[in-house]
Structure 1
Amino acid sequence: MKLTRWMAALIAIVPLLQACGGGGDDDGDGTVRLVNAANGYASLDLYSSDTSLSDDIALDSAGDYVTLGSGTYTFKLRRSGSSTVSSSGDRTVLDGTAHTLVAYNTNETLKTVFLTDNEVAPTAGTAKLRVLNTSIEAGALDVYVTTPTATLADSSATVSGLGAERVSGYNEISEGTYRVRITGNGDKTDLRLDLPSVVLDDQQITTLVLTSTPGGVLVHGLTIDQKGDVTARKNPSARLRLVAGAEANGSAAATANGVTLSAGLTSPAVGAYTLVPAGALTLSATLDGTALTTSATTLAAGSDNTLLVTSNGATGTATLFADDNRPALTSTNAKIRLIHGVGGLASPITLTADFSAVASDVARRTSSAPAAIAASTTARLEATTPTVTGPLFLAEDVTLQAGKVYTLFMLGDAATPQGVLRRDR
């Protein structure tokens, strides 16, 4: 790939603050449009104080530009048809300048960033691209803009270490078709989004917006052309792992949508997350060579999932769980949940941390909701059930790091249950 005329020797990483400066097509009034990049908000209405500006702006789309006099306005967002204000903030509209108010949600909060659409066009034969990372859940990210056939191993990051709620400077790139890949900061094996074909046209000015996903690790994409189109670039993948929890060290194997999760995982064991195509699920799971059935039908785009294989005597069961690997809302907390995968144990399991219940009466082949608890280097974790005297699992002086997510898997058979604690991210 030929990259020409970088806008700076190093990519500038700047906070998501309102951009300043004049310019635009006309002198006088400015204009504002809303772009809805807030996953979970199917449609938004935009108000200036209590005056309606735009209605029913669907997810991954933009409203029309609305003309406003220069000055400071209180922009409010509501779910379409609702009277409740979901987000509110003061923004300054500049004379003769177009603006885009981008709505996004992260850390369970609807937020906005105010962009000025007045970037000067690049030289002929090139385009300008910048990246906006709105996801606190995803953390710092690296962005690779390469030829479609380039490997990540042989590629250098176009943007490095782009933090949450930050925007990069513009890069001037030769027009053409590119593959855009997003990875975790400093880890080329940690692929978060893969867009195999992104076309950059002559003198196009584009912002790639990265947004949060249900699993919290992968990201979705959205491109916003300056004063132009908005294009959704949803993650085509989900992450799925196999957990083998069968009796008598049973061997589990699984393939999902043509991707092998494991050819043979001996219980008790927790496999690594693997990228698989999202959408309709074609799943093959076996226990000691015997095919298992599951009611799972789809994998949500951008989701994290666990396929748990358990057994009760000669009967094997495959159960799919959706994983919430988003960090705790409070940065000093960790998150932990319990999955009951002891096939022959019909009674529920309770998990305590330092003698306080964090998961109560979790039924067989189900999961508790993740609980946020204070990070610790001396945590005491205990799993118990009413029908067994003493703990099923007990671990002391456990380190639970702030910002991390954990699962305690209770696996195996009722006579000898085994606890496996895993950090999910």
Structure 2
Amino acid sequence: MKKRTLLGLMAGLPVSGVLTACGGNNSGSAQVRLVNASPGYSALDLYVDDNLKVSNVAYGAASGYASVDKGSFDTALSVNGSSTQLITTSRTYDTDTTYSIIAYGWNGSLKSVIVTEDQDDADSGSMYFRVLNTATDAGTVDVYLTAEDDDLDSATAVASSVGGGKSTSFGTVDSGTYRLRVTAEGDTSTVLLDVSNVTVSSKGVYTLIVTPTIGGVLVNALLMKQKGDVTALNTTMARVRLVCAMPSGGRVTATVGDVTLTSGNASPAVIGYTQVDVSAGTLTIQATVDGVATPSATWAATAGSDVTVVVSGASAADATPVVITDDNRLSTSSTKYKMRLMHASQALSSDSLTLTVDLTDIVSNQAYRSASSYVNRAASSSSVVTVSSLNAGQIFSLSDQSLVAQGVYDVILLDKSAAGTDGILQTYYFSNVRA
């Protein structure tokens, strides 16, 4: 493979400032297509001036081009077959100009950006490459195109510090076949997408559209060639977190497929996320507590998801792993945080729990070995968070908590390894998992 070159690829530019441009003034109509980069909508339609131009564009795909008259028109997106407009934007179309409208965002927060496809071809042996980051949940990212076995620690990013909703300008990269890796900004150890055998052609002009996944942290991508195909580049990974929730300090070993999450870890403990290849679809979760094997659990894994495995029970003989789905996507409101309650306390297994923030119940009747839905609330610089039950009363209270906008908070109730002198049996895990 040739050594790649990079000329002037910039990061952090607003989408509107990079991806729109004026076309020519020749006679004739414009050509426009729709690219569905929104995982929230399985199929979309495109209307221009209330006229249906393209329909039934699946997520991860692009329509053919449709003719549009010169001028400024309301341009709307709707669910396939529906007359209800999800988003309407005034767009200006010039004659003899080709456009792609990229739809992105989750259900209920759809956005779009228009791309003018007028970049000149690259020189022979090279291609033009830019990045559009629509995965706002994942935050700011770096993008690498390398040989298959290259170590990222010694590689140079082809695009760096690309924030959510931002785009780079075009840079020049050698054409060829690459391994694409998207990482968290400045952190080559946190790989959010890893796809081999990505081929870019000589003289080509490409936009890599980074898209979100259902878990909120890992990403997918679409490789869009100017006036050409759109290729889906999807992760095969999911992230798995482990909660060791056995009483009396029970030691937990757990595996998902052939990946070990922890070995002999004393309870109570919350083990951070581990990436697991879920391309096989269904994986087996195996656990032991103090050397005693628990019943196995089957996980119908979804690529891009985040899950928590809770190993709990009254004793090693009674222990079992339970899979709980996580949603670490940001709140769709820029002023709100998300919070949920997970009940993993064997000592209170017969009690349901209530989670309260600033004297308002946000979760009620939460049963053992389960987690609530996420609740959105306005950010606060100083809040009181409490958990209680009808039988035990107030179990714990946290004062002066800063609950930041777009934080994602887990409150997990666990048993202590042994009762303290005050007789309190519970401990807790409280964290902004997006911090």
TM bin, normalised by shorter chain, reads over 0.9
Tell me which residue corresponds to 2:428.
Answer: 419
- Are 1:336 and 2:339 counterparts? yes
Q: Are the counterparts in 1 of residues 180 and 195 from structure 2 also a CA contact under 8 Å? A: yes
What secondary structure is seen at the aligned counterpart in 2 of 1:156?
Answer: coil
Q: Are the counterparts in 2 of residues 328 and 403 from structure 1 also a CA contact under 8 Å? A: yes
User: How far did residue 155 of structure 1 move?
Assistant: 1.5
* CA deviation string 1:192-240 (max 9, x = no partner): 1111221111112111111111111111111111111111111111111
Q: Are the counterparts in 1 of residues 337 and 404 from structure 2 also a CA contact under 8 Å? A: yes
Using structure 1 for the length normalisation, give the TM-score.
Answer: 0.94
Q: Are the counterparts in 2 of residues 350 and 361 from structure 1 also a CA contact under 8 Å? A: yes
1:25-424 → structure 2 map (5 Å cutoff):
28-106=28-106, 108-278=108-278, 279-293=281-295, 295-313=297-315, 314-344=317-347, 345-388=349-392, 390-412=393-415, 416-424=425-433
User: How far did residue 80 of structure 1 move?
Assistant: 1.1
Pairwise CA RMSD: 2.0
Q: Are the counterparts in 2 of residues 106 and 136 from structure 1 also a CA contact under 8 Å? A: no
User: How far did residue 289 of structure 1 move?
Assistant: 2.1
What is the CA–CA distance in structure 2 between the aligned matches of 1:23 and 1:205, rounded to whole Å? 19
Q: Are the counterparts in 1 of residues 285 and 297 from structure 2 also a CA contact under 8 Å? A: no
Q: Structure 1 pair 107/85, CA: closer, same or farther in 2 (3 Å)?
A: closer
Q: Are the counterparts in 2 of residues 13 and 169 from structure 1 also a CA contact under 8 Å? A: no
Q: Which runs of 4+ in 1 moved over 6 A?
A: none
User: How far did residue 420 of structure 1 move?
Assistant: 1.7
Q: Are the counterparts in 2 of residues 142 and 183 from structure 1 also a CA contact under 8 Å? A: yes
Aligned amino acid, residue 4 of structure 2? L
* CA deviation string 1:301-343 (max 9, x = no partner): 1111111111124400211111111222333333221100112
What is the CA–CA distance in structure 1 between the aligned matches of 2:5 and 2:385, rounded to whole Å? 56
What is the CA–CA distance in structure 1 between the aligned matches of 2:407 and 2:169, rounded to whole Å? 30
User: How far did residue 122 of structure 1 move?
Assistant: 0.5
Judge which range, 141-150 or 11-20, deviates more: 11-20
Q: Which runs of 5+ in 1 are unaligned?
A: none
Q: Are the counterparts in 1 of residues 313 and 346 from structure 2 also a CA contact under 8 Å? A: yes
Q: Structure 1 pair 149/20, CA: closer, same or farther in 2 (3 Å)?
A: same
Q: Are the counterparts in 2 of residues 70 and 93 from structure 1 also a CA contact under 8 Å? A: yes
Q: Are the counterparts in 2 of residues 224 and 230 from structure 1 also a CA contact under 8 Å? A: yes
Q: Are the counterparts in 2 of residues 255 and 261 from structure 1 also a CA contact under 8 Å? A: yes
Aligned residues: 421
Aligned amino acid, residue 16 of structure 1? V
User: How far did residue 66 of structure 1 move?
Assistant: 0.5
Q: Structure 1 pair 404/162, CA: closer, same or farther in 2 (3 Å)?
A: same
Q: Structure 1 pair 186/105, CA: closer, same or farther in 2 (3 Å)?
A: same
Q: Percent identity over the alignment? A: 36
Q: Are the counterparts in 1 of residues 159 and 168 from structure 2 also a CA contact under 8 Å? A: yes
Using structure 2 for the length normalisation, give the TM-score.
Answer: 0.91
Q: Structure 1 pair 20/221, CA: closer, same or farther in 2 (3 Å)?
A: same
Aligned amino acid, residue 371 of structure 2? S
Aligned amino acid, residue 282 of structure 1? T
What secondary structure is seen at the aligned counterpart in 2 of 1:109?
Answer: coil
What is the CA–CA distance in structure 1 between the aligned matches of 2:287 and 2:303, rounded to whole Å? 21
What is the CA–CA distance in structure 2 between the aligned matches of 1:266 and 1:116, rounded to whole Å? 57
What secondary structure is seen at the aligned counterpart in 2 of 1:137?
Answer: helix
Q: Are the counterparts in 2 of residues 148 and 177 from structure 1 also a CA contact under 8 Å? A: no
Q: Are the counterparts in 2 of residues 106 and 134 from structure 1 also a CA contact under 8 Å? A: no
What is the CA–CA distance in structure 2 between the aligned matches of 1:377 and 1:265, rounded to whole Å? 35
What is the CA–CA distance in structure 1 between the aligned matches of 2:181 and 2:117, rounded to whole Å? 25
* CA deviation string 1:16-53 (max 9, x = no partner): 225113369x8521100111111121111111132111
Aligned amino acid, residue 130 of structure 1? R
What is the CA–CA distance in structure 1 between the aligned matches of 2:368 and 2:431, rounded to whole Å? 19
1:3-14 → structure 2 map (5 Å cutoff):
3-4=4-5, 6=7, 8=8, 11-14=10-13
What secondary structure is seen at the aligned counterpart in 2 of 1:248?
Answer: helix
What secondary structure is seen at the aligned counterpart in 2 of 1:153?
Answer: helix
Judge which range, 373-382 or 35-44, deviates more: 373-382
Judge which range, 100-109 or 130-139, deviates more: 100-109
What is the CA–CA distance in structure 2 between the aligned matches of 1:150 and 1:248, rounded to whole Å? 46
What is the CA–CA distance in structure 1 between the aligned matches of 2:40 and 2:295, rounded to whole Å? 31
Q: Which runs of 5+ in 2 are unaligned?
A: none
Tell me which residue corresponds to 1:19.
Answer: 20
Q: Structure 1 pair 27/257, CA: closer, same or farther in 2 (3 Å)?
A: farther
Aligned amino acid, residue 346 of structure 2? G
What secondary structure is seen at the aligned counterpart in 1 of 2:313?
Answer: strand
What is the CA–CA distance in structure 2 between the aligned matches of 1:28 and 1:129, rounded to whole Å? 29
What is the CA–CA distance in structure 2 between the aligned matches of 1:217 and 1:174, rounded to whole Å? 30
Aligned amino acid, residue 389 of structure 2? T
* CA deviation string 1:272-314 (max 9, x = no partner): 1111112322322222222223554322111111111111244
